[in-house]
Structure 1
């Protein structure tokens, strides 16, 4: 199975998206594993009909679920492609990947691809959201997900990476009620993630390292470390203005405005409110806050 690819898709109630996702992978992946968190809709049934191999496992967070999958699934392929259920692989990316894998050097263990977001039917091509390259393909046994509660990236343990100029597109078909409910949950995880980073609770040697002049992920992590040090409640205003005005997010029309206001301001403000709530609960006592996070989220 040299230079073959296995896709890993994490699912929970993804009947709207799963067939689109699997069908986009069929012409490039020899195996497709769906790791389901006990969906209550037809996700598993549809995935089985399309030939995917189904495993079910309780969900804690995206990172732990993916790392469980690469450890426990009987993967035969040389490469592993992480794809979210509401994503799909553009045909041009699939073809480029096929060609590159035929001659890829042995010391390359990770592949960056473009992440493209489509929101309410409109691609978001400005505001710093595109192409936003991320490692999505790793050589088996030589990469994994950072163990973070939110904003996790794939990392490689050694070797080099290459980039492919092709799109892995994120287009969620649910409505705004679903989106805001989902981001409320994300905000809780992001608040914990940011507190872990603020207090250096995680093992940062196993994470993407913050570098201003590094890769897209390294630069994003560097900016996030700066963001964490900025004042609560002020930083969402700064983030919105940088992305929507300075980086041209306004060029993506009404859909772009809705996205940048909700994702770039409202969501970030909600994260700050949850951080404030936790700090106030423990009287702004750093040791009590750290003990709470370790006891609640690091068991």
Structure 2
């Protein structure tokens, strides 16, 4: 069996769905909550998990706080967000893999994320598969110290890949998505200037390194133009239009609106614009 780590804040809409999908692969489910004001805690405790509270700084701080302060019962830890859940195929695969002794050289497992938007799988546009290190041997991984796009990275040993997917399906709707990504854009600007100054901590391994190199190339493109190019790349060249009306909304919002918003905030900062 493996331990499961879930970071939460006001996740009463999602938490039981997530817990239902992981309870059959784990006898040690741990939630680290940043003082939710909804019924997240009550629903979690009803489901028999270990529930901790820690003040919010960012995702990486919460994850590393859990790694440093919680005694996980099992040799491997699986991190999953509250609005994510496992496919039945992934559940079966995890049970099979961890029913036997894992090779001591393997300290991590990469898993494919399948993103849904307004109930539809974003299968094209280069968003699938997004491969992430989500299972690691206890004591052998850290989360990058970043405001945005933080990755779990191994500090020792090798990783391998699982065949099946987990699902990222937030149920909160468009208004919540826009509010969340407006907050994300502030963090993205912070990370942008950190990268320029060389103050970003990163182990630069595996999938994290590949994603970082791609983002560095993106930020070398001209301000504002790059958001248009990103949309064209995702929606047209990577066939995002095959994801229907939901795909049109997703790629406009995610690869154009959000990236244009980040650039607008960079422009505002660099030109000392007074509103």
The normalised TM-score by structure 2 is 0.96
SS state of the match for residue 170, structure 2? coil
1:208-223 aligned within 5 A? 208-209=204-205, 215-223=206-214
1:241 and 2:232 aligned: yes
Question: 2:272 maps to what in 1?
Answer: 281
1:165-184 aligned within 5 A? 165-184=163-182
1:87 and 2:84 aligned: yes
Offset, 1:216: 4.2
Offset, 1:217: 3.6
> Residue 76 of structure 1: which of 64, 73, 81 is its match?
73
Question: 2:105 maps to what in 1?
Answer: 107
Question: 1:51 maps to what in 2?
Answer: 48
Question: 1:193 maps to what in 2?
Answer: 191
Offset, 1:9: 0.6
Offset, 1:104: 2.2
> How far apart, in 2, do the equivalents of 1:70 and 1:22 lie?
20
Note the alpha carbon deviations across 1:33-67, whole angstroms, 9 max, x for none: 11111111100100000011110111111011110
> How far apart, in 1, do the equivalents of 2:108 and 2:192 lie?
26
Offset, 1:100: 1.6
Question: 1:10 maps to what in 2?
Answer: 7
Q: Name the stretch that deviates more: 98-107 or 170-179.
A: 98-107
Offset, 1:220: 2.0
1:116-127 aligned within 5 A? 116-127=114-125
Question: 1:41 maps to what in 2?
Answer: 38
- In structure 2, stretches of 5+ residues that fail to align are none
- In structure 1, stretches of 5+ residues that fail to align are 210-214, 283-299
Offset, 1:222: 1.3
Q: Is the 1:9–1:34 Cα contact (8 Å) retained in structure 2?
A: yes
SS state of the match for residue 81, structure 1? strand
1:266 and 2:257 aligned: yes
Aligned length: 272
Question: 1:207 maps to what in 2?
Answer: 203
Question: 2:132 maps to what in 1?
Answer: 134
SS state of the match for residue 201, structure 1? coil
Question: 1:294 maps to what in 2?
Answer: none
> How far apart, in 2, do the equivalents of 1:32 and 1:132 lie?
24
Q: Is the 2:153–2:208 Cα contact (8 Å) retained in structure 1?
A: no
SS state of the match for residue 281, structure 1? coil
> How far apart, in 2, do the equivalents of 1:280 and 1:110 lie?
44
SS state of the match for residue 258, structure 1? helix
SS state of the match for residue 88, structure 1? strand
Question: 1:291 maps to what in 2?
Answer: none
Question: 2:162 maps to what in 1?
Answer: 164
> How far apart, in 2, do the equivalents of 1:242 and 1:218 lie?
21
